[in-house]
Structure 1
Amino acid sequence: MDNTAQMYGEISLKHVNRNELQRALHAFRRYRISNQQKFVAPRLSHFVSLPLHQQEALCQPSISHVDNIKRVATAIDENHKLAFAIAEHGSALLSFPVTDESDKCGPDDEDGDAIVRSTLRQLYRDFSEEGSLERDICHQTIMQDLAYAFAGEPFEERRRVLVPGAGLLRLPLNLRLAGYEVEANEVSHHQLLASLYILNRAETDPQHTLYPWALTFSNHVSRGDQFSTVSVPDVRPKSLIANSAGADTLLKVNMNDFVVEYSKPCYKGSFDAVTTLFFIDTAPNLLDYIATVSHCLEAGGVWINVGPLLWNCYENGPAGRHEGDVDDDISCKMRHRLALGDSKDFGPQKLEFSNDEVLNLLQHFGFVVEVQHRCVGQAGFIANPRSMLHNMYQLSHWVARKRLWDTE
């Protein structure tokens, strides 16, 4: 574990795990070969095994089955340009040697490949214009809450905000551009690599074409829906940060486990606000999350939360219900594994709470719930808007303030 803070342009990194980073780099580099093997080759092999009359039926112009498989291969090639660019950028920035993308895969590479697919799809949510339908209600709610919490205070006194489970850093970026001093916490090194690449895009850099749904074969009304594209990124973070107020303030990213890191004595009362977005239900033990937020939040500070309560996401998510691919659930399981550290207990957690119970626990542990909406709105999570299957979350929203007296 690298425990030293490292500076990269507008970002300060801390606790980068070199083994996890090397694994993530390898998975990005082998995007083309792994997905050709998983999605293209088996379908072509199955097609040629069919009786000739069935092959003929599938080759009629209204179906064009083989052409569709070729379109999948083309989409993989296009996505690979983005995946490989992320790996190249990360290798150069973090001083990692470039390895051959055709290296033989290790025992965990299949999971790594799935996490890369999930990460690229999340670029749709966080850094495409189309993804704003999912993220805007969440980000705007949090921004409004922060503005209200700090209304009337001098702008020069930028407030310190912690964002656990920061993902691809779009929310921390928006908060940074709004003038807050932001620290993001994220355990996924795959998402770190994608974030570093996107956040360093210059005005002159071309956008990437992303096929977010090309490897999803179910629930399409039209085959063209599978091959719809988006352009990423929709903003140029490097230029926006350079032109923003307080441009000398770095966006800090801490890669250590949330509870382990922010329970340390050095973080006691360090933040004016904590914002959690689609995060609290990732807790192996929510009571630990509550205690950690209470520890690192100053007395009178606010905790703002927006999101669902999908406990055990890799058991209860779409793949757990056999409603789609497993990539996002594998990514969730990876986060759970990293959160548990060296523990061998990777099974489902045993503490799952209703929304009312969460609010009661907050009050028990010294928070005053000032705002609560059982549903501030609806949103999917990396959901194809044209799909025949829509998983929509009723987004719980609350603002809790830490009492002025210390409860620890």
Structure 2
Amino acid sequence: MMDDEVFMSEHGHDLMESETGSSSAMPEEVLEQNALTSTLNSMIVYGKAAHHNLTAPRREALTKLSRMHRTLLEPFYSDYLLSIDRAIDVNSQFMTLVAQIGANNFEAPQERQEWQGATSIQVDHTKSTLKQLYRDWSMQGKSERDVAYRPVIEALNDLFEINKRSETHVLIPGAGLGRLAYDIAQEGYISQANEFSYHMLLTSDFVINHTQTKNQYQLFPFIHSFSHNTSAKNQLQAVQIPDICPSENAGLIRGAFSFTAGSFTDVYGPKDDDAGSGMKNMWNAIVTVFFIDTAHNLLDYIDTISYALCDASDGEGYWINYGPLLYHFEDDLSNRGDLKSDSNLSIELPLDKLVHVIETAGFVFLRLETKLKTTYASDPQAMGSWIYDCVFWVARKRKPGEVYESFVDRV
């Protein structure tokens, strides 16, 4: 059964780096509060920022055209921008509601004067969150979800018989808005999502715990780009969320579902003082989808996965992965050229070397497929989109003394 509230456990307290940057001069609790409140602010100021950055400069540009050019564009262009403004307002009302409920649930200071201001990067994250809602919680995003999520779920179901799933613990780090973890619970597993970003945590909390009916909210996820649009109508297409209402279906879910907040390595990995995290050998399967390339040091992720998976003698410590190798911090290292801060660290490996490292770390690859093409939160009607060549694998934690042949040597 799904808990009444699935955001009950916050094991980790390292949520600030990706949102606001870290500072050793400030206490951790202050940094965390700043990260939370600046994210909340970015949701609340989204509408004002979007009007300012999207429609206001285009109206200004229209006034600078020659009379003949303005005549060619009007009245279409002004009506077009007015429609964008109305869509911004709809999005803004939703994000403000998410922020209001999130401020209460995540215990932000009641006085907004105490909140940290929002950066332009965080407002961009709010815009991205709207597209993530399209991907994870709308019917229109199902076809894109299925490309990545279905192979993972099918691989899980091949590994674990249906009568054992109620005792099978599956961890999904980098869970985003939680849809994959929710769908895994629907298959009967004990599913736990883990997420680092406050944008994702606040929004997934709202969708999972505070939506009341299917298709309750309308959003316009594609209004923020004026490029690659086949029509104004397509740019202004609306989606409804959630396509499945978790609170409505709470009594119907076959497995168990929970959500933790914090850094994957901090919450689930080994500790420097050898005290452990309480997560050692706990998980029968760990599922990573569009996640492993988010690491500063990918080897830390591998260590954490190995630590958290069930002991290999049980034969049920599986790592299922789907995604690209778009290393998120490569540009930080390349552009800054120094390592004065750990936040500049970036370790990137090509796939063959990554497979070798994973095998050396104690895994045996059962399946490995490459060049699986997919998009991510992409408008299927757009004239251009980023297409990823993804890798999909199923690996098992190696048993002590087990002899194996490297997967790289087998292909």
- Give the structure-1-normalised TM-score: 0.82
Q: Aligned ranges for residues 4-403 of structure 1 at < 5 Å?
A: 9-14=5-10, 15=12, 17-59=32-74, 64-97=76-109, 108-151=118-161, 154-156=164-166, 158-204=167-213, 207-246=216-255, 249=256, 251-264=257-270, 265=276, 266-298=278-310, 299=312, 300=315, 301-312=317-328, 315=331, 344-347=341-344, 349=346, 351-375=347-371, 377-403=372-398
The answer on whether the counterparts of 2:286 and 2:318 sit within 8 Å (CA) in structure 1 is yes
Cα deviations across residues 164-194 of structure 1 (Å, max 9, x unaligned)? 1110000111112222112221110111111
CA distance in 1, matches of 2:57, 2:330: 26
Question: What residue ranges of structure 1 are gaps of 5+ in the alignment?
Answer: 1-6, 321-341
SS of alignment partner, residue 9 of structure 2? strand
The answer on whether the counterparts of 2:321 and 2:393 sit within 8 Å (CA) in structure 1 is yes
- Give the structure-2-normalised TM-score: 0.82
Task: Give the direction of change, closer, same or farther, for the CA distance of 1:112–1:134 in structure 2 (3 Å limit).
Answer: same
Letter in 2 for 1:366: G
Cα deviations across residues 98-123 of structure 1 (Å, max 9, x unaligned)? 666xx899665211111111111100
SS of alignment partner, residue 395 of structure 1? strand
Cα deviations across residues 369-390 of structure 1 (Å, max 9, x unaligned)? 0111113x32100111111112
TM-fit CA distance, 1:155: 4.3
CA distance in 1, matches of 2:124, 2:354: 32
Question: What residue ranges of structure 2 are gaps of 5+ in the alignment?
Answer: 14-31, 271-275, 403-411
Deviates more, 1:307-316 or 1:355-364: 307-316
RMSD of aligned alpha carbons: 2.7
CA distance in 2, matches of 1:112, 1:406: 48
SS of alignment partner, residue 38 of structure 1? helix
CA distance in 2, matches of 1:73, 1:58: 18
Identity percentage of aligned residues: 30
Task: Give the direction of change, closer, same or farther, for the CA distance of 1:205–1:364 in structure 2 (3 Å limit).
Answer: closer
Letter in 2 for 1:393: Y
Count of aligned pairs between the two proteins:
366
The answer on whether the counterparts of 2:109 and 2:115 sit within 8 Å (CA) in structure 1 is no
TM-fit CA distance, 1:242: 2.2
Letter in 1 for 2:156: L
TM-fit CA distance, 1:216: 0.6
Cα deviations across residues 282-327 of structure 1 (Å, max 9, x unaligned)? 11111111111111111230000011111236849xxx9xxxxxxx
2:24 aligned residue:
none
